[in-house]
Structure 1
Amino acid sequence: MRVLDGRERRTAAAVLSETYALCEQALAWLAEPSLVWLVADRCMQAAQQADDPLVIAGAAWVVGNVRRNAQEDEAVELADDAATMLRPFLADGADEMRAMYGALRIHGAISAARAGREGDAWRLMDEGVDVARALPEGYTNAWTVFGVPNADITAVSVSADLLHGRKALEDARRVNPDAMPSVDRRARLWLEMARSYWQARDSAGALGALQRATSVSEESMRSHPLARSLAGELVTEGGPLVGSDSRALATRLGLTV
């Protein structure tokens, strides 16, 4: 990028921003938070040099992923600002533009749910679902995996974040995981079900769902803090009914039991 000028430089900056976005996804649960923040910041810097609304919105989605872990309200605001920037382009925009807008809406919904803002969470979630269903059948965005299956899985996450475990399980039963091309997101659906069962103090249900999540993507579950935390709680609080199986699963996920 440094040796180019004009349009070629902006094109290279866009690719660089997408590369940093991919790095952030890979490092999210594996690296020190300071490194993840650095990658997200460089993603946004490259996007600003690309001077492309779609790329800048994608970088905001990445930064919001990092910010959500400690600054939920700021993550909601960031996603909302990026979506507002895209809104003038939606009528005549490509599917990628509308998909990024939808991804930002459900992104904001998750952040709002974690902040306890239930009304905002469902308002943003409903808008994101509407956008997903208006896209061509079977569409999935390459950057954010946005589409109908991802929106449906995110709705399960929102319910779980709001501590509505029963609703999360009801929503999950309507999701077809085979329609989701992302292995990680398919595993996440089962992880959210495990969390919801655990909220209901159903240790057997939580164990079964977490075992299924691990079977779908052991790599994701070994790295995900929620999966590891839940596996540990099943060992210490799950009771004798699931004791041996819980310890076996915790060991599989890399915990010392």
Structure 2
Amino acid sequence: MAEPTANFGASLRAHRERAGKTRAVLGGMVGRSADWVKAVETGRLLTPRLPMLLRLAEVLDITDLADLTGDQSLPVASVTRTGHPAVDEVAAALKRTILPVGEPPSAPVLRGLVDQAWRLWHQSSAERTAVAAVLPGLLDDARRSTRRLDGADRRAALVDLARVYHLAQLYCAHQPYPELVWLAADRAMGAAQDADDPAAIAAAAWYYGHVYRSANQLDAAEHVLTDAIGLIDSGTGPEQLARWGQLRLGIALGHSKAGRSGPAWRAWDAAADAAHRLGDGYAHPWLMFGRAAVDAYGVTVETDLCRPGEAVRRADTLDYRALPSRSRRAAHLIDAARAHLLAREDVAGVHLLGRALRESVETVRHNPYARSSVIELSGRPGTTGEDARELALAMGMDW
């Protein structure tokens, strides 16, 4: 990067205010204090180094670092995101408008194929590679079924088509093509609504909420989740209760990202109560809602609310093995690392990133926070820097 520009502080403040974030919220999201943000914005501190600039750009949804620094162009995704080798093939299948000819699978066969694909996602340590082998064909099969089947079979196929789009959204997350995530989320919601299935709409709202939060559209995320809650009767069985709890969890994540502690914990408490009613051993077979997941998201809430002490306390009491999904375990271990790094505990942060990598190489490799953290930690002296550089090699980072 070139010499710091005099206008960096004003630029950071403008982007922060445009994103609707307080100094405390922004500081917490990048592992710094509100006072640090104020010092940078007012020019009392110089422009941060590249790793911190990348982290600021990610949380402020800035695609080119030049928009923040006024310096030479550097697409943020070129450093913080790396494309999966099969992303173009999956993208082509997702955007295809004319389907290949062929007989569609029956509704029960399609359900089995979709269930199998979700098992691949949750059980593999390289979930994107595993799913990419079946996802293009599964997209074609599910869409053919919804066009060729009738009545109840067509509605069942539409529900499973929505689940395939959810899987496509997960695959496309943190890839260099964010428009694919929006496309998958929108098509999933359309399929769920065409099926007229409240449970499917609830799942689609959960995944749409992720997209809105990632784009800092927090009110839109809350609206889509709240609308879906109105369709769910949580008293009609475990499946409905799990979907209801998942939606409450999504609302908690939106409030915590906005720095609203009270509403965040009220929504989290409702989700925790639903998980408690379902029993300690319950986990939804593909949404993974359950007690372990809700507890793990409690770390996310505390971290987003810039309470590193409480976040670390929660993280250190979790049994990550209770999460029946390698990709979910890896994602929550990254959040635990985020909590420790916010508390200035670099050794614990590197250790947890290493644990996450052992659970799922691809979850860590494609996670922007993990990538930017490893870049920053690689510059630390001693064993912390050495371990971070080893992590970078294992993640395939060659910056």
**Paired residue secondary structure (2:231):** helix
1:174 alignment counterpart: 317
Whole-Å separation in 2 of the counterparts to 1:227 and 1:96: 33
Runs of 4 or more above 6 Å deviation: none
Whole-Å separation in 1 of the counterparts to 2:253 and 2:326: 20
Residue identity in the other structure for 1:61:
W
Asked whether the 8 Å contact 2:279–2:291 carries over to 1, the reply is no
Q: Does 1:192 align with 2:327?
A: no
Q: C-alpha displacement at 1:256, in angstroms?
A: 2.5
Larger Rg: 2
Q: Does 1:2 align with 2:147?
A: yes
Percent of aligned pairs sharing the same letter: 39
Summarize deviations over 1:38-69 as a string: whole Å, max 9, x none: 11111011011100111111111111111110
Which of 223, 226, 230 is matched with 1:84 structurally? 230
Whole-Å separation in 2 of the counterparts to 1:198 and 1:3: 52
Alignment coverage as a number of residue pairs? 253
Summarize deviations over 1:52-93 as a string: whole Å, max 9, x none: 11111111111111111011222122212211221xx222x1
Asked whether the 8 Å contact 1:232–1:255 carries over to 2, the reply is no
Whole-Å separation in 2 of the counterparts to 1:47 and 1:102: 19
Asked whether the 8 Å contact 2:172–2:178 carries over to 1, the reply is no
**Paired residue secondary structure (1:2):** helix
After alignment, is 19-28 or 120-129 more displaced?
19-28
Q: Does 1:11 align with 2:153?
A: no
2:362 alignment counterpart: 219
More helix by share: 1
TM, length-normalised to structure 2: 0.61
The structure, 1 or 2, with the larger RCO (C-alpha pairs under 8 Å, 6+ apart) is 2
Which of 385, 389, 392 is matched with 1:250 structurally? 392
Q: Does 1:141 align with 2:291?
A: no
Asked whether the 8 Å contact 1:76–1:109 carries over to 2, the reply is no
Q: C-alpha displacement at 1:247, in angstroms?
A: 1.4
Summarize deviations over 1:125-162 as a string: whole Å, max 9, x none: 11100100000341111232100000010001111111
State the Cα RMSD in Å: 1.5
**Paired residue secondary structure (2:324):** coil
Q: Does 1:60 align with 2:205?
A: yes
After alignment, is 141-150 or 71-80 more displaced?
71-80
1:165 alignment counterpart: 308
Whole-Å separation in 2 of the counterparts to 1:229 and 1:26: 20
TM, length-normalised to structure 1: 0.93
Structure 2: unaligned runs, 5 residues or longer? 1-145
2:39 alignment counterpart: none
Q: Does 1:75 align with 2:221?
A: yes
Q: Does 1:112 align with 2:255?
A: yes
Asked whether the 8 Å contact 1:73–1:112 carries over to 2, the reply is no
1:239 alignment counterpart: 381
Whole-Å separation in 2 of the counterparts to 1:18 and 1:186: 21
